[in-house]
Amino acid sequence: MDPRESVHKRRPTMGRVPNVTRADALAAVRNPLAFIAARWTPTSRTVQRAALSALVMSVVIVVTGGAVRLTGSGLGCPTWPKCTTDSLTTTSAMGVHGVIEFSNRMLTYVLCAAVGWAIIAARSEKPYRRSLTRLGWAQFWIVMSNAVLGGIVVLVGLNPYTVAAHFLLSSGLIAVATVMWQRTREGDGAPRPLVGKPVQQLVWFLVTASVLLIAVGTVVTGAGPHAGDSKEVERIPIDWETVAKLHAVLAWIVVTLTFALWFILKAVDAPRGPLVRTRELFLVLLAQGAIGYVQYFTHLPEFLVGLHMLGSGLIWIWVLRVLLALRERPGADLEIPGPAQSGSAVGAGV
């Protein structure tokens, strides 16, 4: 037999390997998200976990950024986007400060991966929910903006006003990530309020006071002793202890509003969701307040300041969770009901 005939006869067996057509390749390049979505449908739990991973990483990057400042490693990599003028990565000459600062920069890529995973999962969910995808992309652009701002912080020698802006933008990222995580567990129907307008207005007062609390906290940081680097760094020209007292007053206002909200929700026999979220927020606030007072009277030890930064992120998340718990959206269960559940699911408006 002619060897060429034998090869020709064996060729059909290679058809078992799926071929990627040129059209498929072009489609993947032009719109990779649509390409993936057409071939993969994640479960609702997968989408929720993807959104949660983005939220967790948004808190982690804040805490590690605080560790950079508290260890005096803010200028461990003295330039940006490279670590030094000649090296993209840290060098042995940079010491431990260079390792800490460069490690925090590398965590930005982990954060980008978590946000990217959330975007892909949201885009691939069936039925397609445009609002979830938009929230994912909003996180992406905040991360990119904050990366650039972080570079500016280094280039201007840790100017305290840019450091404050860097933290506030991170708080914005946490807010968007929290909303997306909540929305993955809801439907897309019109929101239905679970409480009356006076309670809603009280919660908005709580949100406003929390924003002021976080903003004044950045002023305490900018004027306080932890400049972020062992070198001489510009500080906000104000007595940090005076601002810290204002910060404490705002914290008590937030605590008082939270307690008043819980009391009112109990009085009006509100649904369980708002009550549970409010109680959780109250406990987080008590823990944060205890840490705050201990760190103040012990002259701001680095470990407690780091815990306080973690607490700040958790308070912001729970304030938003209280706000989002005041309403419900129909269609929270997007799974196809079984035969025994079809009637009840349709009756519930799912």
Range of 267's domain?
190-229+237-328
Residue 19 lies in a domain: no
Q: pLDDT tens digits, the chain, 350 residues: what are they?
A: 555 554 444 444 444 444 556 666 665 667 888 888 888 999 999 999 999 999 999 999 999 998 888 888 888 888 888 888 888 888 888 888 889 999 999 999 999 999 999 999 999 999 999 999 999 999 999 999 999 999 999 999 889 999 999 999 999 999 999 999 999 999 888 899 999 999 999 999 999 999 999 999 999 888 888 767 667 788 888 888 899 899 999 999 999 999 999 999 999 888 999 999 999 999 999 999 899 889 888 888 888 888 998 999 999 999 999 999 999 988 644 443 333 333 333 333 32
Q: How far apart, in whole angstroms, are the C-alpha atoms of residue 96 and residue 103?
A: 10
Kindly state whether residues 165 and 205 are assigned to the same domain: no
Task: Based on the fold, state whether residues 286 and 213 are members of the same structural domain.
Answer: yes
In sequence order, which residues have a C-beta less than 8 Å from that of residue 155 and are 6 or more positions away? Answer: 79, 80
Looking at the fold, whether 49 and 174 belong to one and the same domain comes out as yes
Q: Are residues 298 and 159 in the same domain?
A: no
Instruction: Kindly state whether residues 110 and 163 are assigned to the same domain.
Output: yes
On whether residue 1 sits in a domain, the answer given is: no
Query: Looking at the 3D structure of the chain, how many domains does it have?
Result: 2
Question: What does the angle CA 44 – CA 49 – CA 52 come to, to the nearest 5 degrees?
Answer: 130
Q: Give a yes or no: residue 18 inside a domain.
A: no
Contacts of 161 (CB under 8 A, 6+ apart): 222, 236
User: Could you give the C-alpha distances from 202 to 49, 67, 78, 176, 236, in angstroms and in order?
Assistant: 31, 35, 46, 22, 33
- 30 assigned to some structural domain: no
In order, the DSSP letters of 81-120 are: SSSSSS-SS--GGGHHHHHHHHHHHHHHHHHHHHHHHHHH
**DSSP structure class, residue 229:** B
In a domain, 322, yes or no: yes
CB atoms near residue 294 (< 10 Å): 13
Give domain status of residue 204, yes or no. Answer: yes
Same domain, 267 and 257: yes
For residues 183 and 185, give the distance between their C-alpha atoms in angstroms, rounded to a whole number.
5
Q: Are residues 322 and 199 in the same domain?
A: yes
Residue 287: which CATH number? 1.20.120
Query: Which of the 8 DSSP states describes residue 134?
Result: H
- In the numeric block, which tokens belong to residue 225? 């002793």
pTM of the model: 0.85
Residues 173, 224 within the same domain? no
